[in-house]
C-alpha cells in the first residue's frame, strides 16, 4: 500500500449531474472537506451549467444541517463534456493545470466514473489519449458497478482500462465494503479467539446472508430489466459479504494479503451446473401485494417500462457450498430481493445444536446459538445464548447479548462513500475489489446464468411485501434449516 494520507487531489467527477453524485458523492466530499482534506473538483456531464448553477445543484444535494457551505462549494467547477466526443477532453488540460497550481494539488488526480457502465472503457481511453492521465503526481481511476455483465465482458472492460491505468491504480467500488459493520467482520473474527476457534464446519451449522429491499424497480426499470437481482446484487455485494465471513485469516492485514484470502474463497465456491441449479437456487419475481402500511403494491410486470412478459428475477435465494477444509458441508444461504417486507442487510451465523445431553430432558427445546451481524439499517451484533429461566421450572430460555454502535458515534461516523473516497486518496485499495476477485465472482454467476438458460428455469412469483417465494423456504427446509426472521437491535 502506498501511504499518501491527506495529500491534496484534483477530482474529475464524471456524471456530476447524476443520481449517485447528488445522493451520495457531494455529501461524502463535504464530510471529507470538514476533515481537512484538500481538493478541488471538476464536475463533468453533458448538461449546460455554469460554475454557479453547478454549485447550486451541489448545494441542493447537501443535507439541510450542513454548515460552512460557501468555501466548500467554491472548490467545485463545471465543464461540459460528452464522453462520445473526444474533443471535449482536450480542452480540460489547461484548466486542470490551472486548478493544480491554484490549489497546490501536486498533480494528484482521481478520475471518478459515476457514469453508465457503457462509458467506462471510452472514458479511460480518452483520458489516456488526451494526456489527462499523464501527470506528475499520482493518478487513480474510481469505477462504479457493474463491472461488465459476465466474465467475458468484464475482461474486455478490464483490458481496456489497463491501457490507461495499472491494476493498482484502478479502484473498483463496492460500497458495501465501506460500511462500518462490514469492516467489522474481520475484526470480530480475527481479534476474538473465542469466535475464530469455532468458526468452522465443526461448530457452524449454516450461514444466512440477507440483503432485502422494500423498494420496487422504481425509475431504474430499463437497467434493471436487463440485469436482474443475480447480477445487480449477488455478483458483487453478496459475494463480498460471503468472502469476508468465509476467508482464512490473512497473514497481515494488508491489501494484497486480505484480497488473496478473499480470492481463495471464491475459487472454492462450488460452481452451479444444470444438475444442481434448480436444487440450490431460487429465482423469484414480485407480483402484486401489500406493504406494511396495507398500501397496494404493483407487480413487477405492471411497473413502468417493464416488458409485460419479462422473466427477469427480482429475487434470488441460493445455497452456496464452499469446498475447502474449513467449510466442507456448511451451507451458505443467501437471499436478496426487491419489494420484500423489510429493508435490511444482516448475516446470521447459526451454530450447531448440542449433542444428546443428560442435563437437558428435551434438547430440542434448547435453541441454537446465533451470532447476528447487523449491517443496515441497524448496526451492531447480537449473540443468542440459552440460560436457565429464573425459578424452579428447570426450563431454558434464550437471551441476546447485544452491541450496538451508539448514536453519537454513528452521527460522527464516516459513511461508506466517504470512507472509500478517503481510502482512495490514501492509496489504500483493501476495500475495493481486485480484478481476480471480480473475475472469479463472475465465473460463479456465469455458471448460474448458463444453467438457468439451459434448463429454462422459470421465475417463482412472490407477493410484493413478503420475504420471497415459498421455494426459498423449501430450499432450506430440505436440509432441516429455516430462514431466521430478520432481527432487530431493540
The catalytic residue positions are: 237
115-123, 209-217, 288-296, 396-404 -> range binding ligand NAP (CB under 6 A) = 115-123
CB closer to ligand NAP, 77 vs 332: 77
Q: Minimum CB separation from ligand NAP for residue 30, in Å?
A: 17
Q: Per rule CB under 6 A, is residue 81 in the interface with ligand NAP?
A: yes
One of 116, 187, 253, 410 touching ligand NAP (CB under 6 A): 116
Residues in the chain: 490
Q: Minimum CB separation from ligand NAP for residue 81, in Å?
A: 5
DSSP code per residue over 177-245 = GGSHHHHHHHHHHHS-HHHHTT-STTTEEEEEEEEE----SGGGHHHHHHHHHIIIIIIIIIHHHHHHH
| 58 secondary structure, DSSP code | H
One of 4, 7, 8, 18 touching ligand NAP (CB under 6 A): 18
Using CB under 6 A as the binding criterion, the count of chain residues that bind ligand NAP stands at 21
**324 φ/ψ angles, rounded to the nearest 5 degrees:** -140, 175
44-52, 347-355, 398-406, 422-430 -> range binding ligand NAP (CB under 6 A) = 44-52
Q: Give how far Cα 142 sits from Cα of 21, 112, 280, 328, Å.
A: 13, 5, 35, 36
Report whether 20 belongs to an annotated binding site.
yes
Helix (H) or strand (E) holding 278: helix 277-280
Q: Per rule CB under 6 A, is residue 46 in the interface with ligand NAP?
A: yes
Report whether 388 belongs to an annotated binding site.
no
CB closer to ligand NAP, 157 vs 245: 157
Q: Between residue 127 and residue 156, which ones bind ligand NAP under the rule CB under 6 A?
A: 144-145
Distance CA 266, CA 280 (A): 17
- Cell 452491541 belongs to 403
Apex 448 CA angle, 444 and 450, nearest 5: 115
One of 7, 8, 20, 386 touching ligand NAP (CB under 6 A): 20
Q: Give how far Cα 144 sits from Cα of 54, 57, 148, Å.
A: 22, 21, 11
Report whether 454 belongs to an annotated binding site.
no
Q: Per rule CB under 6 A, is residue 82 in the interface with ligand NAP?
A: yes
CB closer to ligand NAP, 14 vs 30: 14
- Cell 488540460 belongs to 93
Q: Per rule CB under 6 A, is residue 115 in the interface with ligand NAP?
A: yes
Q: Per rule CB under 6 A, is residue 84 in the interface with ligand NAP?
A: yes
Closest-CA residue to 228 (of 151, 119, 146): 146
Q: Minimum CB separation from ligand NAP for residue 220, in Å?
A: 8
Q: Minimum CB separation from ligand NAP for residue 130, in Å?
A: 14
One of 6, 35, 47, 296 touching ligand NAP (CB under 6 A): 47
Q: Minimum CB separation from ligand NAP for residue 468, in Å?
A: 23
75-83, 100-108, 275-283, 327-335 -> range binding ligand NAP (CB under 6 A) = 75-83
Report whether 342 belongs to an annotated binding site.
no
Neighbours of 178 (CB within 10 A): 22
Report whether 482 belongs to an annotated binding site.
no
Report whether 232 belongs to an annotated binding site.
yes
The separation between CA 388 and the C-alpha centre of its own chain, rounded to angstroms, equals 40
Report whether 202 belongs to an annotated binding site.
no
CB closer to ligand NAP, 40 vs 81: 81
Q: Per rule CB under 6 A, is residue 251 in the interface with ligand NAP?
A: no
Report whether 338 belongs to an annotated binding site.
yes
Distance CA 109, CA 96 (A): 10
Residues with Cβ within 8 Å of residue 189, at least 6 apart in sequence: 195, 196, 199, 245, 249
% helix, strand, coil for the chain, step of 5: 40, 20, 40
Q: Per rule CB under 6 A, is residue 83 in the interface with ligand NAP?
A: yes
Contact between residue 267 and residue 186 where contact means Cβ atoms under 8 Å apart: no
What is the side-by-side order of every strand in the sheet holding 380-388? 396-404, 380-388, 370-376, 344-351, 204-212, 331-337, 315-321, 281-287, 460-463
Report whether 444 belongs to an annotated binding site.
no
SS3 388: strand
Report whether 394 belongs to an annotated binding site.
no
Q: Per rule CB under 6 A, is residue 161 in the interface with ligand NAP?
A: no
Q: Give how far Cα 442 sits from Cα of 5, 222, 234, 319, Å.
A: 33, 22, 10, 17
Q: Minimum CB separation from ligand NAP for residue 8, in Å?
A: 25
Q: Per rule CB under 6 A, is residue 117 in the interface with ligand NAP?
A: yes
Q: Minimum CB separation from ligand NAP for residue 444, in Å?
A: 21
What is the side-by-side order of every strand in the sheet holding 39-45? 76-80, 39-45, 9-14, 109-113, 139-143, 170-172
Q: Minimum CB separation from ligand NAP for residue 80, in Å?
A: 8
For ligand NAP, the binding residues (CB under 6 A) are 15-21, 23, 45-47, 81-84, 114-117, 144-145
From the annotation, which residues make up the binding site? 15-22, 46, 82-83, 145, 175, 179, 213, 232, 338, 343
From the annotation, which residues make up the binding site for substrate? 175, 179, 213, 232, 338, 343
Amino acid at each position: 500500500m502506498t501511504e499518501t494520507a491527506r495529500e491534496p487531489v484534483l477530482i474529475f467527477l464524471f456524471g456530476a449531474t447524476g443520481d449517485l453524485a447528488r445522493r451520495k458523492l457531494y455529501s461524502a466530499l463535504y464530510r471529507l472537506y470538514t476533515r481537512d482534506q484538500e481538493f478541488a473538483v471538476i464536475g463533468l456531464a453533458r448538461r449546460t451549467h455554469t460554475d454557479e448553477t453547478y454549485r447550486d445543484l451541489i448545494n441542493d444535494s447537501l443535507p439541510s444541517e450542513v454548515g460552512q457551505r460557501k468555501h466548500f462549494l467554491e472548490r467545485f467547477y463545471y465543464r461540459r463534456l460528452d464522453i462520445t466526443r473526444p474533443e471535449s477532453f482536450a480542452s480540460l488540460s489547461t484548466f486542470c493545470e490551472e486548478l493544480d497550481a491554484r490549489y497546490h494539488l501536486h498533480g494528484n488526480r482521481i478520475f471518478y466514473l459515476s457514469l453508465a457502465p457503457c462509458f467506462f472503457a471510452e472514458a479511460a481511453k480518452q483520458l489516456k489519449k488526451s494526456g489527462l492521465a499523464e501527470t506528475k503526481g499520482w493518478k487513480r481511476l474510481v469505477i462504479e458497478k457493474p463491472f461488465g455483465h459476465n466474465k467475458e465482458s468484464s475482461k474486455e472492460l478490464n483490458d481496456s482500462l489497463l491501457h490507461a491505468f495499472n491494476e493498482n491504480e484502478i479502484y473498483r467500488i463496492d460500497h458495501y465494503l465501506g460500511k462500518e459493520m462490514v469492516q467489522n467482520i474481520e475484526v470480530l473474527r480475527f481479534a476474538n479467539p473465542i469466535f475464530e476457534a469455532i468458526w468452522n464446519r465443526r461448530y457452524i451449522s449454516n450461514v444466512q446472508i440477507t440483503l432485502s429491499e422494500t423498494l420496487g424497480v422504481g425509475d431504474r426499470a430499463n437497467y434493471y430489466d436487463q440485469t436482474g437481482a443475480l447480477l445487480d446484487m449477488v455478483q458483487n455485494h453478496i459475494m463480498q459479504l460471503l468472502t469476508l465471513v468465509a476467508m482464512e485469516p490473512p497473514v497481515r492485514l494488508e491489501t494484497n494479503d486480505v484480497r488473496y484470502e478473499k480470492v481463495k474463497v471464491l475459487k472454492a465456491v462450488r460452481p452451479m451446473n444444470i444438475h444442481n441449479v434448480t436444487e440450490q437456487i431460487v429465482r423469484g419475481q414480485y407480483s402484486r401485494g401489500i406493504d406494511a402500511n396495507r398500501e397496494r403494491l404493483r407487480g413487477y410486470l405492471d411497473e413502468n417500462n417493464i416488458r409485460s412478459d419479462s422473466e427477469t428475477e427480482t429475487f434470488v435465494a441460493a445455497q452456496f457450498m464452499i469446498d475447502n477444509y474449513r467449510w466442507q458441508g456448511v451451507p451458505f444461504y443467501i437471499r436478496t430481493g426487491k419489494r420484500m417486507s423489510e429493508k435490511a442487510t444482516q448475516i446470521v451465523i447459526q451454530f450447531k445444536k448440542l449433542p444428546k445431553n443428560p442435563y437437558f430432558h428435551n434438547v430440542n427445546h434448547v435453541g441454537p446459538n446465533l451470532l447476528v451481524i447487523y449491517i443496515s439499517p441497524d448496526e451492531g451484533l447480537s449473540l443468542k445464548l440459552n440460560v436457565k429461566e429464573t425459578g424452579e421450572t428447570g426450563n431454558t430460555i434464550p437471551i441476546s447479548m447485544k452491541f450496538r454502535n451508539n448514536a453519537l458515534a454513528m452521527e460522527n461516523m464516516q459513511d461508506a462513500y466517504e470512507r472509500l473516497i478517503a481510502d482512495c486518496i490514501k492509496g489504500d485499495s483493501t476495500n475495493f475489489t481486485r480484478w481476480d476477485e471480480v473475475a472469479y465472482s463472475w465465473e460463479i454467476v456465469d455458471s448460474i446464468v448458463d444453467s438457468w438458460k439451459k434448463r429454462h428455469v422459470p421465475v417463482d412469483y412472490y407477493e410484493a411485501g413478503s420475504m420471497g417465494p415459498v421455494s426459498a423456504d423449501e430450499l432450506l427446509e430440505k436440509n432441516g434449516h429455516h430462514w431466521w426472521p430478520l432481527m432487530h437491535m431493540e
